[in-house]
Amino acid sequence: MRRLNRTFYYGKRVLRTTSVPGVMGGFDYFVTTNVTTLTGTPALTQKHLEDEIQNCWEGGGMPDTIVVNGWGKRKITSFYKDAVRTDRSEKMGGTVISSVTTEFGELDIVLDRWSPTNSLRIMDTKKLGWLTIDPFHFEELAKTGDYTRGQVVGDYTFALCNEKAHAIISGFSTSK
């Protein structure tokens, strides 16, 4: 499962031949239009984020999810922490932002440890997903001693429609 999750970010498409196994492309392989690479590793800003959300919307999408690692999640929380609504009876301190509301809709923030450190992805989840070719199953391997061995195998691919409905922001500082 970890390999499948990492392929979402790092997958480079390779066409299957008789001598070369096929490999699926990931999100970064397919999204080429709304890609912002910040130079000089500046701090990520709310403007960077909302500009890309607008680009997705203008490209025909309704972005509903932002996928980030720990640092990106902390930065996004810092943008919106002063706009949190609470009851006066609330006795707990701290702020956890799990979704944000923008002019272009509400977006869930998904924390993923495999998301590359200095980047985030904005997506319309109705326009992407995993497709099952051969579901995961267990296969026993040949017996070579006083034990049994097996492997879990499966064949999946990643599909993404309307690449302009998605975005990537990369190159931001992980210390500012």
Q: What is the DSSP string of 17-54?
A: -SSS--B---HHHH--SSEEE-SS-PPP-HHHHHHHHH
Residue numbers in the chain where pLDDT is lower than 70: 84-93
What is the residue extent of each domain of the chain? 2-170
- Rounded distance, CA 99 to CA 66, Å? 9
> Residue 95's CB: how many other CB atoms inside 10 A?
13
Q: Are 147 and 124 in contact (CB under 8 A)?
A: no
**What integer pLDDT is reported at residue 58 of this predicted model?**
97
Tokens of 53: 């959300």
